[in-house]
Chains A and B, each alone.
Chain A
Amino acid sequence: MTPRLETGVRRLDFITKGGLIQGASYAVLGPPGSGKTLLAHQIAFWHVKHGGKALYVTLLTESHARMLANLEAMSFFDASVIPDKLHYISAYHQLETEGLKGLLELVRRAARQHQATLLIMDGMDAAKEFARGDLTYKRFLQELQTFIGIIGCTTILLSPHFAGDMPPETTAVDGVFKLSLWLSGPRAVRELVALKFRGSDSLLGKHELEISDRGVIVHPRTEVLFSNPQEREEGQRSRMAFGVPRLDKSLHGGLLSGSTTLLLGAPGTGKTLLGLRFLLEGARQGQPGVYFGFYETSQRLIEKAEGVGMGDFKKYVDAGLIEIQWQPPLEHNLDALAERLLERIQERKVKRLRLFVDSIAGFRSATVYPERMSRFFSALSHQLRMLDVTTVYSDETALFSPNVDAPQPDATAYVENVILLRYVELRSQLYRLISIMKMRESQYDSGIREFSITDKGITVAETFESAEAVLTGHAVVRGAPPKAKATRKSPMGVRAAAKKAARKPKRKPAGRRPS
């Protein structure tokens, strides 16, 4: 097996499936400010920290002092390894006086003298200009590669690169990583594109990149990270109830463990409360739960739960059985969110975990490639299933629309169950309705029922008989006079319907209750 060189760059070694190949050469291309020098230094400091020796050769880039001053704030920076383990040389003078041959000779000698196991050459555009042609430059690269291959030294060549340009390095080296920095609206997006990686399988393609005082962090695309999904050995699946009797009855006991459910509804229909109820019911049965949300802080969620008869919610949060992971309202990275979620669940190492993601819109706003969403959620949901997690995602429909337009129309490809919450306007009042639209691998009751939220808790009524055609958004009162008469606004018709509705169990308008 070919020896690998770990980079120390979080998740870059996932992309290369083990790290750079020892003795191979890599080009890191990118426009100024994209993080090339930072990435190379992060790898160099990691390498020397783990017993290697690195040689950093600069060619007409910023001075070594300036370069180091910019790196001092980085958590990986360690001045004590300079110059014994991490040695800097400026080779521009050699290049200017003796050309590529002189440069090659200088690098060869310095690499051997310092017993370098990692060579970084920064500012390769200067060498390219001296070559006066791609062929000469490629020849130089080939000679350099042969030499470093013999001495077993891994090499990273850094070159500025602009869109549309195809640098000669791309054909000569063993691997190419392209860094980019662009604007998606007001948001700056950094990306790493793995274009080529010889000698090993790798996750080629575009991955988002983050730069902080910890250096570079790569976020591999979730859908390629889990591109070879494993089948989980199905154990005995259980029913995961909401603790709302009529709803659980309609679900034939609850959601199947390990399943994925979409809780769809307009703002204020009670998605968050129903999701919290799902977590609370699990906690009461000793099952751990995670709330992964974007909008409300832990304190607000607890208050909200307490206001609707879920007074013991806080007790389970304090005991750690329910974990609230609130994502502050910042610019997020789609794959970083998935990593955070999965890492936390993997760390907990528990079975029958309940997860409520509130909501999919939080993920949607984090992506710069909306076309990825379906593949992303398929991969994420599958991974959660593998971890024996029962997931409920919430997502919003339009507040005022006669149609049920799911923001993620292809969501049915990755969710097994769909529960719809919606408003219906009837006799000048708003009512909440709940219905199960889909439940894979299980029987379910598709009846439309009234869904109420009071300070005593959440209830689902036996029926909603007073209205029909409610899913179209154009509810019609049962027993009302025909349409022609209705247009004459017969007071008797409405009154008759109201009388009938009054015979139903107590039902208060939705607008008067907490949501």
Chain B
Amino acid sequence: MKTILVVDDELDIAEAVKSILEDEGYRVVTCANGREALDCLKDARPDLAIIDVMMPVMNGFETIRAIRGSREFASLPVVIMSAIDPSVRPPDYDWAGFLKKPFSLERLLEQVHKQLPPVPAPA
């Protein structure tokens, strides 16, 4: 089962995304800020991270920079989740996708399925 790390200080969004992606057959781990996310990376070992930008303690850009700087998770695909398009002020690292808030179910699944193909429904 593929694991997705969802990082957002707005817990209602994190919980809603978790509920939807679990229904899609993924394992989902949620964190409330960048610092928490970095701390749980080793245990969670995600295949994809969906990270909000504006968060307390450590914001999304700082978190992605830290992930890219780590040896173990440097190539982890990251989808940025924000009300502001990151291409307006491009950060100095790569990101796999962008999910503009507020987003629809279709947009969320499109971004996830680009990185992690849909899990076939059990027969």
Seen from chain A, the residues whose Cβ lies within 8 Å of a Cβ on chain B are 105, 108-109, 112, 139, 142-143, 145-147, 149-152
Residue A151 contacts which of B10, B13, B15, B20 (CB distance < 8 angstroms)? Answer: B20
Asked if B104 CB lies within 8 Å of chain A CBs, one says yes
Seen from chain B, the residues whose Cβ lies within 8 Å of a Cβ on chain A are 10-13, 15-17, 19-20, 23, 102-105, 108
Quick check: A143 and B104 within 8 Å, CB to CB? no
A112→B104 CA distance, assembly (Å)? 13
Quick check: A150 and B23 within 8 Å, CB to CB? no
Q: Distance in Å from the Cβ of B18 to the closest Cβ of chain A?
A: 10
Cβ–Cβ < 8 Å partners of A151 in chain B = 20, 104-105
Quick check: A105 and B19 within 8 Å, CB to CB? yes
Residue B104 contacts which of A109, A139, A145, A150 (CB distance < 8 angstroms)? Answer: A150
Cβ–Cβ < 8 Å partners of A145 in chain B = 12
Quick check: B23 and A112 within 8 Å, CB to CB? yes
Cβ–Cβ < 8 Å partners of A149 in chain B = 102
Given A150-B105, A152-B105, A143 contacting B23 (CB threshold 8 A)? no
Given A142-B12, A146-B12, A152 contacting B104 (CB threshold 8 A)? yes
Residue B19 contacts which of A139, A142, A147, A152 (CB distance < 8 angstroms)? Answer: A147
Residue A143 contacts which of B15, B102, B108 (CB distance < 8 angstroms)? Answer: B15
Please name 13 further chain A to chain B contacts, defined as beta carbons within 8 Å, in addition to the given A146-B10, A146-B12, A150-B17, sorted by A numbering.
A108-B16, A143-B11, A143-B12, A143-B16, A146-B13, A146-B16, A147-B15, A147-B20, A149-B102, A150-B20, A151-B20, A151-B105, A152-B105
Residue B23 contacts which of A109, A139, A142, A152 (CB distance < 8 angstroms)? Answer: A109
**Across the A-B interface, the 4 shortest Cβ-Cβ residue pairs:** A146-B12, A147-B16, A143-B12, A146-B16
Quick check: A112 and B20 within 8 Å, CB to CB? yes
Q: Which of A108, A109, A142, A150 has the most C-beta atoms of chain B within 10 angstroms of its own C-beta?
A: A150
Q: In the complex, how many residue pairs between chain A and chain B have their CB atoms under 8 Å apart?
A: 39
Given A149-B102, A151-B105, A108 contacting B19 (CB threshold 8 A)? yes
Q: Distance in Å from the Cβ of A102 to the closest Cβ of chain B?
A: 13
Question: Which residue of A has the minimal Cβ distance to B13?
Answer: A146
Cβ–Cβ < 8 Å partners of A142 in chain B = 12
Question: Which residue of A has the minimal Cβ distance to B17?
Answer: A150
Chain A facing B: main interface SS: helix
| Sample (11) of A-B pairs whose CB atoms are under 8 Å apart | A105-B19, A108-B19, A112-B20, A143-B16, A147-B19, A149-B102, A150-B16, A150-B102, A151-B104, A152-B104, A152-B105
Cβ–Cβ < 8 Å partners of B20 in chain A = 108, 112, 147, 150-151
Cβ–Cβ < 8 Å partners of B23 in chain A = 109, 112
Question: Which residue of B has the minimal Cβ distance to A140?
Answer: B12
Question: Which residue of B has the minimal Cβ distance to A142?
Answer: B12
Question: Which residue of B has the minimal Cβ distance to A141?
Answer: B12
Q: Distance in Å from the Cβ of A114 to the closest Cβ of chain B?
A: 13
Question: Which residue of B has the minimal Cβ distance to A105?
Answer: B19
A112→B22 CA distance, assembly (Å)? 12
Cβ–Cβ < 8 Å partners of A108 in chain B = 16, 19-20
Cβ–Cβ < 8 Å partners of B15 in chain A = 143, 146-147
Cβ–Cβ < 8 Å partners of B16 in chain A = 108, 143, 146-147, 150
A151→B103 CA distance, assembly (Å)? 9
A108→B13 CA distance, assembly (Å)? 13
A145→B102 CA distance, assembly (Å)? 12
Cβ–Cβ < 8 Å partners of B103 in chain A = 150
Cβ–Cβ < 8 Å partners of B11 in chain A = 143
Q: Distance in Å from the Cβ of B105 to the closest Cβ of chain A?
A: 5
A142→B12 CA distance, assembly (Å)? 7
Q: Distance in Å from the Cβ of A117 to the closest Cβ of chain B?
A: 11
Question: Which residue of B has the minimal Cβ distance to A143?
Answer: B12
Cβ–Cβ < 8 Å partners of A152 in chain B = 104-105
Question: Which residue of B has the minimal Cβ distance to A145?
Answer: B12
Q: Distance in Å from the Cβ of A242 to the closest Cβ of chain B?
A: 64
A150→B81 CA distance, assembly (Å)? 13
A432→B64 CA distance, assembly (Å)? 93
A421→B104 CA distance, assembly (Å)? 68
Q: Distance in Å from the Cβ of B9 to the closest Cβ of chain A?
A: 13
Cβ–Cβ < 8 Å partners of A147 in chain B = 12, 15-16, 19-20
Q: Distance in Å from the Cβ of B46 to the closest Cβ of chain A?
A: 20
Q: Distance in Å from the Cβ of B8 to the closest Cβ of chain A?
A: 10
Q: Distance in Å from the Cβ of A367 to the closest Cβ of chain B?
A: 43
Question: Which residue of B has the minimal Cβ distance to A144?
Answer: B12
Cβ–Cβ < 8 Å partners of B10 in chain A = 146
A149→B13 CA distance, assembly (Å)? 10
Question: Which residue of B has the minimal Cβ distance to A147?
Answer: B16
A151→B16 CA distance, assembly (Å)? 10
Q: Which of B16, B17, B23, B108 has the most C-beta atoms of chain A within 10 angstroms of its own C-beta?
A: B16
A358→B19 CA distance, assembly (Å)? 63
Cβ–Cβ < 8 Å partners of A139 in chain B = 12
Q: Distance in Å from the Cβ of A391 to the closest Cβ of chain B?
A: 50
Q: Distance in Å from the Cβ of A274 to the closest Cβ of chain B?
A: 63
A239→B23 CA distance, assembly (Å)? 74
Q: Distance in Å from the Cβ of A216 to the closest Cβ of chain B?
A: 31
Cβ–Cβ < 8 Å partners of A109 in chain B = 19, 23
Question: Which residue of A has the minimal Cβ distance to B10?
Answer: A146
Q: Distance in Å from the Cβ of B63 to the closest Cβ of chain A?
A: 21
Question: Which residue of A has the minimal Cβ distance to B103?
Answer: A150
Q: Distance in Å from the Cβ of B109 to the closest Cβ of chain A?
A: 10
